[in-house]
Amino acid sequence: MKEIIRIAVQKSGRLSEDSLSLIKECGIKFYNGTGKLKSTAFNFPIEFLFLRDDDIPGYVADGVADLGIVGENELVEKDKQVETIKKLGFSKCRLSLAIPKGEEYPGISYFEGKNIATSYPNILNTYLKSRKVNASIHEISGSVEIAPSIGLAEGICDIVSSGSTLMMNGLKEVEEIFRSEAVLIGNPGMEEVKKSIVEKLLFRMNAVQQGKGNKYILLNAPNDSLEKIISLIPGMRSPTVLPLAEKGWSSVHSVLSEEQFWENIEELRQAGAEGILVIPIEKMVL
């Protein structure tokens, strides 16, 4: 029987969407219809388990799944014996303390002797201890934002993306205690044959992510400015320079990060670059 690896992915929500999008961009084809809890890829030796995000670290630690994609917040909160293989750069958020928006906030001492509702008691407890604050932590599994309005707690500690949910519930963010993004985790005791499959998966993931972070740049440049323009778009090794039909001009092709391009765009134009095209890169292998 051909060896396969199992990867645990959140069964619904933003993290699930981002995770499956990355896997599909890696050229891996599978069916994940509504309500489906397990699926096998058609063209890669991998099986998917669709689980609750807070169950994923445990499944990976126990060896039920070889890999998992989970938020760092859940990984740290559950504190399971797993290996963090790769940060994935999506589903970024923060874990923050919040209080009713009408309250004055003098600093972290506000929470001394108070009650805080959260779904992340371990992360919160570690933070409060580091700040030498004694507070009572009330663990609840959902709808944390309602706790102050029903008298359960004076503040909350919860995941924040845009802050709109806090505002809708009459709360304001006062302390950021943890930053999170999606990570790929693995079972430390994985067999060598499975590790080789994981390496192939990582190769594909890296190619997709490197492509997303860079752009293919084409532009026309006067030959007397080539040296300056090339210094502004150095590329992976060096730019490609091709002569145009019009004498005294060349076409310059290069790859660089989008951020670097925007930093240099004005200098490129001042150096005489024309007809600048910025093209997305689907995959990039270094």
pLDDT in tens, 162-172: 778 888 889 99
Residue 145 main-chain phi, psi, to 5 deg: -60, -20
Q: What pLDDT is attached to residue 73?
A: 95
Q: Are 86 and 72 in contact (CB under 8 A)?
A: no
Domain boundaries, the chain: 5-90+181-211, 93-180, 214-280
pLDDT band at 47 (very low <50, low <70, confident <90, very high): very high
d(CA 137, CA 131): 15
More reliable by pLDDT, 164 or 205 = 205
Residue 225 corresponds to which tokens in the numbers above? 């400015």
> What predicted TM-score, i.e. pTM, was given to this entire model?
0.85
How many Cα atoms occupy the beta-carbon half-sphere of 129 within 13 Å? 6
Query: What is the rounded average pLDDT of the residues 195-215?
Result: 93
d(CA 128, CA 76): 15
d(CA 175, CA 76): 19
Kindly report which listed range (172-176, 219-223, 232-236, 253-257) carries the lowest average pLDDT score.
232-236
Q: What pLDDT is attached to residue 1?
A: 54
Q: What pLDDT is attached to residue 276?
A: 93
* CATH architecture label of 214-280: 2-Layer Sandwich (3.30)
Amino acid found at 205: M
Look at the domain 5-90+181-211 and name its fold.
D-Maltodextrin-Binding Protein; domain 2 (3.40.190)
Q: Are 20 and 209 in contact (CB under 8 A)?
A: no
More reliable by pLDDT, 236 or 33 = 236
Residue 44 above 60 pLDDT? yes
Look at the domain 93-180 and name its fold.
D-Maltodextrin-Binding Protein; domain 2 (3.40.190)
Amino acid found at 273: A
Residue 286 above 60 pLDDT? yes
Residue 212 above 90 pLDDT? no
Mean pLDDT of the chain: 92
Residue 279 corresponds to which tokens in the numbers above? 């093209």
Kindly report which listed range (21-30, 54-63, 176-185, 276-285) carries the lowest average pLDDT score.
276-285
Same CATH topology for 5-90+181-211 and 93-180: the answer is yes
Q: Are 234 and 227 in contact (CB under 8 A)?
A: no
Residue 223 above 60 pLDDT? yes
49-67 pLDDT, tens per residue? 999 999 999 999 999 999 9
Angle at 184 between CA 77 and CA 68, to 5 degrees: 75
116-148 pLDDT, tens per residue? 999 999 999 999 999 999 999 999 987 899 999
Query: What is the rounded average pLDDT of the residues 203-217?
Result: 91
d(CA 200, CA 156): 42
